[in-house]
Amino acid sequence: MEKTLAIIKPDAVERNLIGKILERIESNGFRIVAMKRTQLTLPVAEGFYYVHKERPFFKDLTTYMCTGPVVLLVLARDSAIAEWRKLMGATNPKDAEAGTIRKDFAIDIEKNSAHGSDSAENAAFEIAYFFSQTEIQE
Ligand code: CMP
């Protein structure tokens, strides 16, 4: 079983979409092996997205991620990283396929409702960034 980090972003939490997104996760073969609802601070968001620190959207992205509560999740299944990215859809909801979370729920490329790790290396970093080993039960 592979693990990935997922985030339900502030725009989705604000619109009461936590339940709908969790339902899609569970009905698509993932097990939720850790979960917490919290609000990020700017230093925490900046540390999490440090790989994007040179990008023009870094300041807006990190500020946006602190505008309201988020739900942090560790998801497990075979090919969890790729399967969660498939279920989310393209980063920009305009490019996302029908039936994906971002197509159905996202507002724009910034308020795109969900995050997922993009590689095994980043998944390991991102899971450890938010969860200790004892918080993850398979
Ligand atoms: P996420 O999967 O959380 O990873 C980085 C985030 O940056 C991405 O989703 C988008 O919400 C956000 N972002 C904002 N602008 C851009 C952009 N031009 N290209 C890629 N990501 C962007």
- Quote the ligand 1 centre to 85 CA distance (angstroms): 13
Q: Which of 40, 49, 59, 61 to mutate to test the pocket of ligand 1 (most atoms within 8 A of CB)?
A: 61
Nearest to 44 by CA among 25, 29, 28, 63: 63
User: Looking at the whole model, is its pTM more than 0.75?
Assistant: yes
| The pLDDT of residue 113 | 98
| The pLDDT of residue 119 | 98
The residues assigned a catalytic role are 115
Residue in the structure block whose two tokens are 């390991």:
124
Per the CB < 8 A criterion, the answer to whether 135 and 3 are in contact is no
CA dihedral 112, 118, 122, 126 (to 10 degrees): 30
**Ligand 1 surroundings by CB, under 6 angstroms:** 52, 57, 61, 91, 109-110, 112, 115
Nearest to 3 by CA among 116, 137, 123, 136: 123
Residues of the chain with pLDDT under 50: none
Q: CB-based contacts of 55: which residues, under 8 Å, 6+ apart?
A: 61
Residue 138: count other Cβ atoms within 10 Å of its Cβ: 9
Per the CB < 8 A criterion, the answer to whether 5 and 72 are in contact is yes
